[in-house]
Amino acid sequence: MAESASIEVAACRPRRLRRTTALRRMVRETVLTVNDLIYPMFVMEGTEKRVEVPSMPGCWRYSLDLLLTEIKAIHRLGIGAIALFPLIADNKKDNAGTESYNPAGLVPRAVRAIKETIPDMIVITDVALDPYSSEGHDGIAKDGKILNDETVAVLVKQALVHAEAGADFVAPSDMMDGRVGAIRRALDAEGWIHVGILAYSAKYASAYYGPFRDALDSAPKFGDKKTYQMDPANGREAFKEVELDILEGADIVMVKPALAYLDVICRIKQRTNLPVAAYNVSGEYAMVKAAAQQGWIDEQTVVLETLTSMKRAGADMILTYFAKEVALALQSA
Ligand code: PBG
């Protein structure tokens, strides 16, 4: 018996399915496509301006005119969605993030222009105070603390301004308690029933956001974000956050960052029927770029492998600064 069992094991040859490219393609379980990609983009005031983010080579902040040109280009490559982040001048920042709900502000103007120029591009706007905050925090600060409910009231105004401008999704990235429900109720009350909520549900207090804060000049002026963003040590707590966001009306839930949290993506995917997004954040991008510039890794292969791992873990869509490169790579594949 033991002998025949071992003969059967010996006869089993997994390599048979890896013998040729065609065979590997046939049995491939996970396929990354351009449909999976959401491109985060930085917008700033001015005309004909394009400034590369030093810690994110290959990523630029664009003035609106050049942003539109770039969006047309990525649209031609088949990228269907962008997430928009603004660089706000220091003199427009205050502790209450007042500029965040200015109907004539940079984001609403950008959303309107994008929707006029490329109507079928899905536009996702970030809802949080940090780009507008003189303190560099996602909420209103008082005595060294971040106020929750007072912040939610401002986030609601911000979300309504984005909806009015034509955003397809608002994406609260602030991690205040109760903000998804408050935003959903306000959107519905104002008639924006078709505007979706992509919730940054499991957003960790991560050092991987460093380059993004360089891009927007939005690093916290005091303390850190650990009283609102999650502790990187916690996995079960991610599900608590996801569960609440679903109850409050989220349409898509997100895990952020992605690479160091693949287990969280995997666990959440098993427990919700909602689409799950993953954010391949700025620090993940910067590490790959830096190693590639040194000639230490092959950039394109590493990028495709990394993004495929996120899909394999359960991500239905991926926000990634590599979106354009990947779309190009997939076209020539
Ligand atoms: C702000 C926000 C951050 C990111 C997206 N929205 C930074 C932060 O929370 O400090 C990070 C994105 C990235 O690192 O690519 N609410």
What pLDDT was estimated at residue 245? 98
Using most ligand atoms within 8 A of CB, pick from 209, 228, 287, 319 the residue to mutate for ligand 1: 209
Catalytic residue among 256, 269, 289, 311: 256
- Separation between Cα atoms, residue 148 and residue 129, nearest integer Å: 12
Query: 319: which strand partners?
Result: 38, 279
CB 137 within 8 A of CB 225: yes
269-275 contact pairs (CB < 8 A, 24+): 269/313, 269/314, 269/315, 270/314, 271/239, 271/242, 272/242, 272/246, 274/246, 274/250, 275/251, 275/316, 275/317
ω into 257 cis (within 30 of 0): yes
Distance 258 CA to ligand 1 centre (A): 13
Catalytic site residue 289? no
CB-based pocket (< 6 A), ligand 1: 126, 128, 130, 138, 173-174, 209, 212-213, 225, 281-282
Query: What residue owns the CA closest to ligand 1's atom 6?
Result: 173
Strand, helix or coil for residue 44: strand
**Which option is the CATH number for 31-332: 3.40.50.720, 3.20.20.70, 3.40.50.300, 3.40.50.150?**
3.20.20.70
Residue that has been written with the tokens 């200015």 in this structure: 102
Mode of pairing for the β-strands spanning 60-63 and 50-52: antiparallel
| DSSP structure class, residue 130 | G
What pLDDT was estimated at residue 8? 72
Distance 85 CA to ligand 1 centre (A): 9
For the chain of 333 residues, list the mean pLDDT of each consecutive stretch of 10.
Answer: 64 95 98 98 98 97 98 98 97 97 98 98 98 96 96 98 98 97 98 98 97 91 96 97 98 98 98 97 98 98 98 98 97 84
Catalytic site residue 92? no
pTM listed for this prediction: 0.96
Query: What residue owns the CA closest to ligand 1's atom 11?
Result: 209
Q: Which residues, including other chains, have CB under 8 Å from residue 187's CB and lie 6 or more apart?
A: 159, 160, 163, 170, 193, 195, 197
